[in-house]
Amino acid sequence: MKFIIETYGCQMNVADSEMISTIMENSGYELTDTLTDADIIMFNTCSVRQHAEDRVIGRISNEVARKISNKNLVIGVVGCMAQRLGKELGEMNTKIDFVVGVDNYFKLPEIIEGLYNKRHFVSSVDMNHKEIYHDIYPIRSNELNAFVTIMRGCNNFCTYCIVPYVRGRERSRSVDEIIKEIKIAGEKGIKEVTLLGQNVNSYSWEGINFPKLLQKVNKVDGISRVRFVTSHPKDISDELIETMASCDKVCEHIHLPVQSGNNEILKVMNRNYTAEHYLNRISKLRSLIPNIAITTDVIAGFPGETEEQFQDTYNLMKEIRYDFAFMFKYSPRIGTKAAEFNNQVEEAVRLERLQRLIDLQTEITHEKYKEQIGQIKEVYVEGPSKKDENEYSGKSRDFKITIFPGDESLVGKLIKVKVEDAVGWTLKGHLVE
């Protein structure tokens, strides 16, 4: 039996899909990358914004239509949306065979086998706040980058966010399992690892905190680059910043979602920091790690946000000059506190504010990328560029896509590129040495 997983949302889902592949293969199922070959199609889904859910619903109905010609096709939904909607998903779209939530992936082989015996819809979405998928080492869908989950869940309950409800409470994976997984990646020739967690800064295992874990990861042979997402501004300690500065493999990039630049909004978001604290962390990062790239997430039009409060976000972004930002208009998620607030901002206003942020950030990104011209960057070559097959593409340590004339032999290598131009969000240059 062959299965395929289509993955949506964040890198945590990418890592979960690789883990699901291991669980399935351990039970004799075979992974395929061709939809038409698959006997089982799984959608690993995201719930963070309504748009993410709508997109996947569209995709599912396309595939479900194929059941007419392939009666044995089994289709299931896993991930955050499965967890959030559970049985409801089956009722919305009666042709789905199963829904399995984020803590129940160990049950997948058994559930699927059961379906072949008696075909009726199965939903398995009980939460288990302790499930950490002990002893499962993922089958990598990506041969160059290892996404390694170090903790699952979130205890922060930002008032807009559905994640704590669908992913449950924070729990950390053991240091030994994490290091073992990274060693396996290193032995396979993978040079870059990204440590994943909803809030990596609250990693904790038998007295080892996140900075200490980073120091251990920094020592693993074969690995040349270490990244991590996501950090919470309230938990970025001096110890972490100092560790980032002193560990040679830890890349000069941090993703630090600010969400808003206004203290009252930050308070109702339950973010537990002020704009001043955030700015203080940015200056500490920039003073200890010159040239660090800083990226962020921002939400426009959170309930109650006035034009003045929005201006604070706009001005903060102008002041910080992020290298890149993921910008969203607020999307009410049923079950979260903010969705209940009776001062929702009109959709048109949310959109218009979002557009102003996008315009500002696009300009800043262009300027920041132009500033890179003349520099020599280390690039980890990933493959041919999408637009021109004679150009190859990779990422710099500070997380910028860099393209240059090259060939297949460079894929998977760390090379030096002299930047000659910056076009949009891409640096262009030539190989040096």
- Interacting residues toward ligand SF4 by CB under 6 A: 154, 156-158, 161, 163-164, 198-199, 232
Closest distance of CB 352 from ligand 5AD, Å: 16
Beta strands in 125-164 (DSSP E): 145-149, 151-152
Closest distance of CB 339 from ligand 5AD, Å: 8
Closest distance of CB 298 from ligand SF4, Å: 12
Closest distance of CB 152 from ligand SF4, Å: 11
Closest distance of CB 302 from ligand 5AD, Å: 8
Q: Angle CA(161)–CA(5)–CA(87) in degrees, nearest 5?
A: 55
Residue (200 or 317) nearer to ligand SF4, CB: 200
- From ligand SF4, ligand 5AD, none, interface partner of 299 (C-beta below 5 to 8 A by class): ligand 5AD
> Peptide bond before 230: cis, by omega within 30 degrees of 0?
yes
Distance between CA 30 and CA 25 in Å, rounded? 6
Supply 370's token pair: 């132009």
Residue (104 or 361) nearer to ligand 5AD, CB: 361
Residues near ligand 5AD (CB under 6 A): 48-49, 160-161, 257, 259, 297, 299, 328, 330-331, 333
- From ligand SF4, ligand 5AD, none, interface partner of 154 (C-beta below 5 to 8 A by class): ligand SF4
- From ligand SF4, ligand 5AD, none, interface partner of 328 (C-beta below 5 to 8 A by class): ligand 5AD
- From ligand SF4, ligand 5AD, none, interface partner of 333 (C-beta below 5 to 8 A by class): ligand 5AD
- From ligand SF4, ligand 5AD, none, interface partner of 49 (C-beta below 5 to 8 A by class): ligand 5AD
Q: What share of the chain is helix, strand, coil (3-state, %, to 5)?
A: 40, 25, 35
- From ligand SF4, ligand 5AD, none, interface partner of 297 (C-beta below 5 to 8 A by class): ligand 5AD
Integer CA distances (angstroms), 83 to 46, 110, 268, in order: 10, 18, 26
Closest distance of CB 87 from ligand SF4, Å: 24
Residue (105 or 330) nearer to ligand 5AD, CB: 330
Residue 300 contacts residue 330 (beta carbons within 8 Å): yes
Distance between CA 20 and CA 398 in Å, rounded? 31
Integer CA distances (angstroms), 239 to 213, 244, 285, in order: 12, 9, 11
Closest distance of CB 256 from ligand 5AD, Å: 10
Closest distance of CB 48 from ligand 5AD, Å: 5
- From ligand 5AD, ligand SF4, none, interface partner of 6 (C-beta below 5 to 8 A by class): none
Integer CA distances (angstroms), 164 to 35, 98, 124, in order: 32, 23, 18
- From ligand SF4, ligand 5AD, none, interface partner of 331 (C-beta below 5 to 8 A by class): ligand 5AD
Distance between CA 277 and CA 315 in Å, rounded? 16
> Collapsing DSSP states into helix, strand and coil, what is residue 310?
helix
> Collapsing DSSP states into helix, strand and coil, what is residue 420?
strand
Supply 245's token pair: 């500065």
